[in-house]
Amino acid sequence: MRERGFGRWVVAIPMCLLALATIYPMVFTLNVAMKSRREYVLDRFSLADHLTAANIADAWNSSGLGRYTFNSVVVTAGSVALLLLLGSMAGYAFSQLTFRGRKWLFLVCLGALMIPFQVIMVPFFRVLGQIHLLDTHVGLILAYTGQFLPFTIFLMTSFYSRIPAEIVEAARVDGSTTLGVYRRIMLPLGRPALLSVGILNALFCWNDVLISLLVMQSEQHRTLMVGVTALRGQYSDNIPLFAGGVLVAALPVIAIYLFFQRQITDGVTAGSTKG
């Protein structure tokens, strides 16, 4: 069905306005980050005099964002690696192997999808303290892995179940073991799904603030998003510098979005329509 002529434009106008409302806050922030403090106080909306990354650089240098970025990179990379490994292993087993208890174990994994972190926050904090992993990178990596693993298993299972069993059988007739099939067939064939799921998980881990606030307590172990929340107090009288810091923290995500938009939307819709 295709709407033609006049009707098309009647809807095009609100869509255009909404697109503007979606993107303008970012553009505004970018513009503010280019201004001097005086410029911002005089006029909020005027275009910055010149293109400069001075505020962004200042914010980067004066606020410890480098340290926080390092922490975020370590924790995100570790979590995504672990999630993809465990998620693809379990996904392969649930989708391609018949074994006792499969249905029940899969139900346990999916059921855990319905337990949000807020609900288990207090005991989680205690358990992590008891095994001496509070305020460590490993602790936060484990926390993220626990948090996003059910979702990862769900997506990997549904992806692997689309791989024809004949391929697996052929490899097995050729003498490959079950684990050999995982390494030689499932991992290479799963690359597009692993990319999609990996990017989604990377965004989740990178963007999180609640779990990170709870697990990482010392200032030197802060992740980037927690660092951003501290900027507000630090630069309360210098909005352009604050905007610069916010942009620094947003840039990696913006870049990932521009490169991997397809994989991201594929990932979120795979989680929805397969249900």
Partner 1 sequence: MVQPATARRSTTAVRRRHLGEHQIAALVLVTPALLIIVGLRIVPLVLGAQYSLTGDGDRNGLFVGLANYRTLLDDPVFRTAVRNVGLLFLALPVAVAVPGLLATFLFLKVPGHRFYRSVYFFPVVLSPVIIGAIFNILLSFDGPLNQLLGKAGLAPVDWLGNSHVAILSVIGVHIWATFGMALVIFMAGFSTLDQSLLDAARCDGATLPQTVWHVVIPELSRTIQFVFVTTMIGMLTGMFGLVYVMTAGGPGGATYLPEFYIWVTQGQMNSPALASAASMVLFVLMLLVGLAQIRLIKRATKEV
> Which secondary structure element, helix H or strand E, spans residue 18, and what is its range?
helix 6-33
Q: How far apart are CA 57 and CA 79, in angstroms?
A: 29
272, amino acid identity = S
- Sorted by sequence, the CB contacts under 8 Å of residue 6 that are 6+ apart come out as none
Q: Write down the residue that tokens 């692993």 correspond to.
A: 194
Between 12 and 47, CB nearer to partner 1: 12
Show the tokens assigned to 254: 């913006």
Show the tokens assigned to 171: 């490899």
Q: Write down the residue that tokens 């465990």 correspond to.
A: 86
- According to the binding rule CB under 8 A, does residue 167 interact with partner 1? no
Q: Which of residues 63-122 bind partner 1 (CB under 8 A)?
A: 86-87, 89-90, 92-100, 102-103, 105-122
Q: How many residues bind partner 1 (CB under 8 A)?
A: 113
Q: Which of residues 202-221 bind partner 1 (CB under 8 A)?
A: 203, 206-210, 213-214
Between 53 and 213, CB nearer to partner 1: 213
* Phi and psi based region of residue 116 (left: phi greater than 0; alpha: psi -120 to 50; beta: remaining): beta
Q: Which of residues 242-271 bind partner 1 (CB under 8 A)?
A: 242-243, 246, 249-250, 253, 256-257, 261, 264-265, 268-269
Q: Which of residues 227-246 bind partner 1 (CB under 8 A)?
A: 228-229, 231-232, 239, 242-243, 246
Burial 224-250 (b: 16+ CB within 10 A, else e): bbbbbebbeebbeebbbbbbbbbbbbb
Could you tell me if 260 and 266 are in contact, meaning their C-beta atoms sit under 8 angstroms apart? no
Q: How far is the CB of 234 from partner 1 (least distance, A)?
A: 12
Between 45 and 218, CB nearer to partner 1: 45
Q: Which of residues 6-35 bind partner 1 (CB under 8 A)?
A: 7-8, 11-12, 15, 18-19, 21-23, 25-26, 28-29, 32
Q: How far is the CB of 51 from partner 1 (least distance, A)?
A: 20
- According to the binding rule CB under 8 A, does residue 56 interact with partner 1? no
Q: Which of residues 129-148 bind partner 1 (CB under 8 A)?
A: 142-143, 145-147
Q: How far is the CB of 131 from partner 1 (least distance, A)?
A: 10
